A and B are shown apart, each in its own frame.
Chain A
């Protein structure tokens, strides 16, 4: 089966720093792929390239068989490519509910009034129902992360890119989140998940890729990859934290 999302031979450098060096990565339809790598390995840049906020120096981004390398971020979102941000980016002057309404109405091209019920349900699913009318700028870190997820889901994505959603959460909060992500995936949404919290990642993904110095240095079954010698070498510090 052809992949739903594919990065083909992607390269990107910021000045002298190479953040992507001929990366090839494909996500099967319905698959959950995890990406790990040390800080500065180029993980978030890869999401930027996939969603269109960063343009690659060379290479192509393919979504559902179409070349989307030159499309704007908003077009990609409407096609069904949603992301959450590592540092939550709420519309802080709007209410939590309005945040999700924006994503539902524009990310999926629906009339505003038509999305209200779906948004209310989504907030309940993400544990934000009682904060629906709170200003998003006043939320705690956990709630901000929940809102990132709720907003991304509101766009009705086919592919969801998650950028360190588990970082800074307690054990219990993390477990709730993993359960939610599994549920999302069971609903047929393909997932790429960048995460430092490795045990959370291992609980949810089918395949794991390791990014280091702008290259994919290992890829395959999560448990095999995580115990491979290359990963243990570059990942010691972070794996010990997790």
Chain B
């Protein structure tokens, strides 16, 4: 074998095409304030938030195997922390978003210490209970309106940007930037040594353990990182809404059920899944929401059909059939005779 030089490549043809498409799409989206109306901007910003939330949940459940139904705890925590920082402490909203990440990460450690004692379905229920406790605690904060919630005072809203349009642009770009950062961080993580371990855990926990991977340690790290990101996204969501209440902030429907729907139909355990899922979810919501409760029935039916027909989600189906990857995550071994080929630095 000594005449053979091994070289490892990450990208494939599909991932090179993928990167170009992604960058082109990003450019178009970054310019949306110049081609889209207010309605479009609001919708897109909302979509970005769901892409970010679903990508984070995907990392947690799809890769680390931690099926939490309590991530609304961190969405709401981020939102409430932002409102508290802005209203009580007088912090600038943008700074408040930055603070929401690390504080949530610190909070996530004792929460993990508690919920990690539980396994599987018990863990899921445990995380939900924690989120309910957070909701009850939030309704006790009288300075933030207690159970009925509070709006961001007009003076503080105006302090962000002089005009309504400027503020809306600012929040739009903020939402896009935060989602790009979250996705880029996830890609960087998955390409790293830790990502290798994480993908191994996704595929087979028993084998991962038996091959020297510290499974519990990595799960804890992921739980804390996901809380960090989820809380920042939560802060941004409620900055956009300008109003917060315990029921909206800690809604299991909005921040967990929809997020799971998005991830599962898009493709769990695949980085592309949440993006595809978000597009499908919003396409359905925009076209079917006039139907009232029938819309929810259709959504349930879609979820069931996808789970039966394509248990790895729509992207999983495509990726398995054509071997596509939109992002260069795989490590491909390329063998070349040593005489002709130089080593990759």
Q: Which residues of A contact B (CB under 8 A)?
A: 51, 53, 72-74, 77-78, 82-83, 85, 89-95, 97-98, 101-103, 105-109, 111-113, 116-117, 119-121, 123-125, 129, 132-133, 151, 155
Q: Closest chain B residue to A98 by CB distance?
A: B331
Contact A53 B8 (CB under 8 A): no
Interface centre among B202, B212, B213, B331 (most CB of A within 10 A): B212
Q: Name the A residues within 8 Å of B202 (CB-CB).
A: 93
Interface residue? B164 (CB, 8 A): no
Contact of B330 among A53, A83, A95, A102 (CB under 8 A): A95
Within 8 A of A (CB), among B222-278: 269
Contact of B206 among A53, A78, A94, A101 (CB under 8 A): A53
Known contacts A91-B199, A102-B196, A124-B1: A74-B209 contact under CB 8 Å: yes
**Secondary structure dominating the interface of A:** helix
Interface residue? B113 (CB, 8 A): no
- Within the complex, the shortest CB–CB distance from B341 to chain A, in Å, comes to 13
Q: Closest chain A residue to B217 by CB distance?
A: A74
Contact B193 A129 (CB under 8 A): no
A to B CB contacts below 8 Å, 12 in the list = A74-B215, A91-B203, A91-B208, A92-B204, A93-B269, A95-B330, A106-B212, A120-B1, A120-B6, A125-B1, A151-B211, A155-B212
Q: Closest chain B residue to A130 by CB distance?
A: B335
Contact B212 A98 (CB under 8 A): no
Contact B214 A129 (CB under 8 A): no
Contact A121 B212 (CB under 8 A): no
Q: Which residues of B contact A (CB under 8 A)?
A: 1, 4, 6-8, 193, 196-197, 199-200, 202-204, 206-216, 269, 330-333, 335
In Å, the complex CA distance between A116 and B214 comes to: 21
Contact B333 A120 (CB under 8 A): yes
Q: Name the A residues within 8 Å of B335 (CB-CB).
A: 120, 129, 132
Contact B211 A155 (CB under 8 A): yes
- Within the complex, the shortest CB–CB distance from B127 to chain A, in Å, comes to 24
Contact A97 B331 (CB under 8 A): yes
Which 4 residue pairs spanning A and B have beta carbons closest together? A107-B212, A120-B6, A91-B203, A106-B212
In Å, the complex CA distance between A113 and B211 comes to: 17
Contact of B4 among A73, A102, A103, A120 (CB under 8 A): A120
In Å, the complex CA distance between A82 and B215 comes to: 17
Contact A72 B214 (CB under 8 A): yes
In Å, the complex CA distance between A101 and B209 comes to: 15
In Å, the complex CA distance between A148 and B9 comes to: 24
Q: Name the B residues within 8 Å of A109 (CB-CB).
A: 212
- Within the complex, the shortest CB–CB distance from A78 to chain B, in Å, comes to 5
- Within the complex, the shortest CB–CB distance from A132 to chain B, in Å, comes to 4
Known contacts A93-B269, A121-B1, A151-B211: A105-B193 contact under CB 8 Å: yes
- Within the complex, the shortest CB–CB distance from A66 to chain B, in Å, comes to 17
- Within the complex, the shortest CB–CB distance from B60 to chain A, in Å, comes to 17
Known contacts A91-B204, A102-B196, A105-B196: A73-B332 contact under CB 8 Å: no
Q: Name the A residues within 8 Å of B207 (CB-CB).
A: 85, 89-91, 151
- Within the complex, the shortest CB–CB distance from A112 to chain B, in Å, comes to 5
Q: Name the A residues within 8 Å of B6 (CB-CB).
A: 116-117, 119-120
Contact B209 A112 (CB under 8 A): no
Q: Name the B residues within 8 Å of A121 (CB-CB).
A: 1
Contact B211 A90 (CB under 8 A): no
Contact of A91 among B200, B209, B333 (CB under 8 A): B200
In Å, the complex CA distance between A133 and B7 comes to: 12
Q: Name the B residues within 8 Å of A97 (CB-CB).
A: 331-333
In Å, the complex CA distance between A83 and B206 comes to: 11
In Å, the complex CA distance between A116 and B212 comes to: 17
Contact B212 A103 (CB under 8 A): yes
Q: Name the B residues within 8 Å of A116 (CB-CB).
A: 6-8, 333
Contact of B212 among A53, A74, A95, A129 (CB under 8 A): A74
- Within the complex, the shortest CB–CB distance from A51 to chain B, in Å, comes to 6
Contact A73 B210 (CB under 8 A): yes
- Within the complex, the shortest CB–CB distance from B273 to chain A, in Å, comes to 13
Contact A72 B209 (CB under 8 A): yes
Contact B200 A89 (CB under 8 A): no
Interface centre among A53, A82, A112, A119 (most CB of B within 10 A): A112
- Within the complex, the shortest CB–CB distance from B211 to chain A, in Å, comes to 4
Contact B210 A77 (CB under 8 A): yes
Contact A77 B211 (CB under 8 A): yes
In Å, the complex CA distance between A102 and B196 comes to: 6
In Å, the complex CA distance between A94 and B338 comes to: 27
In Å, the complex CA distance between A105 and B199 comes to: 14
In Å, the complex CA distance between A68 and B1 comes to: 37
Contact A83 B210 (CB under 8 A): yes
Interface centre among A105, A106, A121 (most CB of B within 10 A): A106
In Å, the complex CA distance between A111 and B335 comes to: 20
Contact of B333 among A78, A93, A102, A132 (CB under 8 A): A132
In Å, the complex CA distance between A125 and B4 comes to: 13
Q: Name the B residues within 8 Å of A83 (CB-CB).
A: 210
- Within the complex, the shortest CB–CB distance from A204 to chain B, in Å, comes to 22
Q: Closest chain A residue to B4 by CB distance?
A: A120
Contact B210 A92 (CB under 8 A): no
Contact B332 A106 (CB under 8 A): no
Contact B200 A94 (CB under 8 A): yes
Q: Closest chain A residue to B331 by CB distance?
A: A98
